[in-house]
Chains A and B, each alone.
Chain A
Amino acid sequence: MTTRRRLPLLAAAFLPLRPDSARAQAMGDATGTLGRILRSGLVRVGVWLEAPPWGSYDHDGTPDGAEVALARLLARDLGVRLRLQRLAVRDRIPALEEDRVDILAALVPVMSATSRRVAFASPHGELTVAVATRRDSAVRSLADLAGRRVALPDNTFAAEEARIRLPPDTTQLLMPDLIACIDAATRGRVDAAISYGWLLRDLSLSRPELDIEQRFTLTHAHHALAVRLGDADLLRFLNTLLYLRGADGTLAEIHERYLRGTPAVAPVFR
């Protein structure tokens, strides 16, 4: 082979690839997981479907909830297909670390311990886990629940938090859902119910005749999308998306649809 023949091959080897479309060219720049998502046309989002109203199923058995809606928005804005990966509560962080998912939209609370393992996007929501009792109840604090019967909504973040924080000699009764817990408390079958602040506020407005009120907050947390540590391009894309979707009202619509009311402004951080 002559030098002249070899040179075009050499040149071709050094030439940058010329993708067929502008979209493909744009994809080439992003690094890490964002680059992979854009090149493959698929994003794998880990969701927790035992956490209504953030993650559950609709009447047809299709995944639904505020975090699921956000996952669908993510895929749409990335311009790629969505693969929802159902995760158990304790499997959320390992699934991200082990590269089984690209992003967690799974009600991951922003906590210092977790921030050593994942990178959080700007928080997009908050949740308060509260203890509710009848109005004449003597329960005023966590310590007052010692030796009492407390209703926990099964398979929820609220129940997870309650299990960690309730005094050890509390009798924990798992109920099928949030309303069943409230019902048990109003009927006096339990001394207190674990619930969410948004639900108790909603009930106080829509059903003022119900003998139930929020006694104290068990825990309050902001939650955020999470990506692997070091995935800075993806993290910045998510923060940009949250910024724009916060500004155009899309996040507020999701909040209104699943949680009612206007979302509180989350703390600013990068």
Chain B
Amino acid sequence: MRDVTRRALLATIAALPLSPAAATPLRIPTLRALRAGLDLDGTATAYRDAANGLAGMAVEVGALIADGLGVVLNLVPTSAARAVEDLRAGSFDLLLNAPPLTIEAAREVLFADPYAALDLAVIAPSRLPLSSAAALAGRRVAALGGRAMQLLASRAPIDRMEVQALPDLSAIAAALAEARVDAAIVTSPMASRIATLNPAMEVKLTLGTVWLAPACRFGDHDLLQAVNTLLYIARQEGRMQLLHQAYYERALPRPPFF
């Protein structure tokens, strides 16, 4: 019994993730593969194509970064709810579709330069009149849970809305279809996907820009610098603009100074 307990405890200790403070920064020259986290959210950012392969803007960005580093890209699945924790626990080294860029999220991870500029959209049944953010007051509104909720605070009257945090796109689409909520606040690719699945839904208004960017762990500044340099080169060559247009059907705006 004693041995069993001892072994169990030692196994528990061995299975524990390294604390972030103890983790050493990634060394680019010795890197053989880029372990990149991907939340396959089913939008133009990350989805499965007709051949069951991984596709989307985030996948392309991962490929161009790995290519620029001259290493293999290993995509590691994660979810919106777990992505930041998985990154910090060392499950992967770069999070491709991190939570939208917010000040709050920037206290938890190092954001690289953005690769996408999307709208924060309000989607609702076509019959529902919604002409401004103020009209959301008193409504039941769905939104993606977790850190994506941080986008709402400065853009919608959240204290006067009944906000329902849902885990993913399919849950939000179902809540809208079953009239459990009056509207949903999501990024524009997610709104497009919901409208495709359910033509009775339409984008009513937008609540400003949402920036998407890869993210690294705190302390990983060599990787951050390499990612930013490769993103910069892709913008200079026009590749990023072409990808953005192809996946999101809108131009990548010139970002504000950074």
Contact = CB atoms under 8 A, between A and B. Distances in A.
B179 interface: no
A8 interface: yes
Contact residues on A (Cβ < 8 Å of other chain), bracket: 35 or more
Contacts of B13: 10-11, 14-15
Given A28-B20, A122-B258, A243-B257, A7 B5 contact: yes
A247 B254 CA distance: 11
A233 B219 contact: yes
B257 A246 contact: yes
Contact of B110 (A16, A236, A248, A270): A236
A244 interface: yes
A237 B258 contact: no
Contact of A7 (B9, B16, B110, B111): B9
Contacts of A210: none
A77 to B, nearest CB: 5
Given A4-B6, A11-B9, A247-B256, A29 B16 contact: no
Interface string B225-238: 10010000000000
Given A29-B88, A236-B224, A240-B106, A3 B257 contact: no
Contacts of B50: none
B107 A244 contact: no
Most A C-beta atoms less than 10 A away, residue of B20, B101, B218, B225: B218
A64 B12 CA distance: 55
A26 interface: yes
A233 to B, nearest CB: 5
Contacts of B219: 31, 232-233
A241 interface: yes
Band of interface residues on B: 35 or more
A1 interface: no
Nearest to B224: A236
Nearest to B1: A4
B107 A78 contact: yes
B107 A232 contact: no
A77 B107 CA distance: 9
Contacts of B256: 243, 246-247, 265
Contacts of B218: 29-31, 34-35, 233
Contact of B20 (A14, A29, A122, A265): A29
Interface in A6-48: 7-8, 10-11, 14-16, 26-31, 34-35, 38
B8 to A, nearest CB: 9
Contact of A248 (B6, B208, B224): B208
B153 interface: no
Contacts of A246: 256-257
Interface in A170-223: none
Contacts of A31: 21, 218-219
B20 A77 contact: no
B217 A268 contact: no
Contacts of B19: 16, 28
Interface in B87-143: 88, 101-104, 106-111
Nearest to A13: B13
16 contacts: A3-B6, A7-B6, A11-B13, A15-B16, A29-B108, A34-B218, A35-B218, A122-B257, A239-B258, A240-B106, A243-B258, A244-B103, A244-B106, A246-B256, A267-B257, A268-B257
A-B pairs with lowest CB-CB distance, top 5: A246-B256, A240-B106, A16-B19, A243-B258, A26-B108
Interface of A: 2-4, 7-8, 10-11, 14-16, 26-31, 34-35, 38, 77-79, 122-123, 232-233, 236-237, 239-244, 246-248, 265-268, 270
